[in-house]
Amino acid sequence: MQVKPEGWNRWPFPRERKVVVGVVHLLPLPGAPGYEGNWSEVVARAVEDARVLAEAGVDGLIVENYGDAPFFSQRVPPETVAAMSVVAHEIKKATGKVLGINVLRNDPLAALAVAAASGAEFIRVNVLASARLTDQGIIQGQAAQVLRYRKNLQLDHIGVWADADVKHSAPLASVDLAQEVHELAWRNGADAIILTGSRTGGVVCVEKLKQVQQVAPVPLLAGSGVTPQNLAQVWPWVQGVIVGTWFHQHQDLSAPLDREAARTLVQQARKLAASHKAS
């Protein structure tokens, strides 16, 4: 039995437009080992980072609880859901940008709950289907639960962006990438496919992008390692890029965002888009 891919119907941007999506890496949230008790600082930093990216011209944002390491493999506690809902709502109110939610390490039900409370347009799911060996142990996909929960919450407009061959993990058995992508879209309801390098900030393999672009019936995004130096090589094969590490000073996620780096990459993306239309 196949599921009809609906990704383009849930794509929150104009179909003819390629996009740059910036990542807002949250400081440790209440309950996390690194949380220092200053909730106002957490919110203020997130909103400021979102504003910097919005002013640089990104098309959308993804909010993720990056500071909460070490991560739970599946369900996060209620304080994480509550905190992310508040922060995501404030970001949406401050920027008006298309917004995505990624609850690390792999809690798509929590992400949908946060999206419902904040008005987000999509969620990112690191392991939607199959199973992966990670530093949190074996993580199993929850596509059946995710799509049913989305229906129950009447959130059918919210897209599910799924990683293929997700970073910081390994398959439990040899997997053909094209087959994995096909099954994510046709059997597990992924509305977009994300390819990354092997780690945060790791450069995505262009040959893999080409391979997936030929078989994916839904939008494809490069999800890590995109810089002004390699954007031109990545751009022809994707509908968008997700950029996090490059936007931080010295590519250090603990450092503040670099406004000029953000503007430079977005401007380069716009030039590539313009040249593509002209050709």
71-116 confidence digits (pLDDT tens): 998 899 999 999 999 999 999 999 999 999 999 999 999 999 999 9
User: Looking at residues 263-277, what average pLDDT do you find?
Assistant: 89
Highest mean pLDDT, choosing among 135-144, 195-204, 226-235: 226-235
> Residue 169 — pLDDT band, cuts 50, 70, 90?
confident
Is the pLDDT at 179 greater than 70? The verdict is: yes
User: What sign does the CA torsion over 251, 256, 257, 260 have?
Assistant: negative
- Is the pLDDT at 279 greater than 70? The verdict is no
Q: Give the β-pairing of 19-25 and 137-140.
A: unpaired
Has residue 165 got a pLDDT over 90? no
Give the pLDDT band (50/70/90) at residue 5.
confident
The pLDDT value recorded for residue 201 is 62
Distances 209 to 9, 107, 114, 132, 195 between C-alpha atoms, Å: 22, 26, 30, 20, 7
Mean of pLDDT over the chain: 92
What band does 47 get if pLDDT is binned at 50, 70 and 90?
very high
Q: What is the pLDDT of residues 217-266, one digit of tens each?
A: 999 999 988 999 999 999 999 999 999 999 999 888 888 899 999 999 99
User: Which residue type does 269 have?
Assistant: A
Query: For residue 192, what pLDDT is reported?
Result: 97
d(CA 71, CA 69): 5
Please compute the mean of the pLDDT values over residues 159-184 and round it to a whole number.
Answer: 85
Q: Please name each of the domains of the chain with its CATH number.
A: 16-278 (3.20.20.70)
pLDDT computed for residue 175 by the predictor:
79
Nearest residue to 56 via CA among 199, 258, 206, 251: 258
Least confident of 15-29, 100-114, 164-178: 164-178
Within 10 Å of residue 89's Cβ, how many Cβ atoms? 17
Q: What is the mean pLDDT of residues 258-279?
A: 88
**How far is it, in rounded angstroms, from Cα 121 to Cα 63?**
12
HEC letters along 107-160: CHHHHHHHHHHHCCCEEEECCCCCEEEECCEEEECCHHHHHHHHHHCCCCCCEE
Question: Looking at the chain, how many residues does it have?
Answer: 279
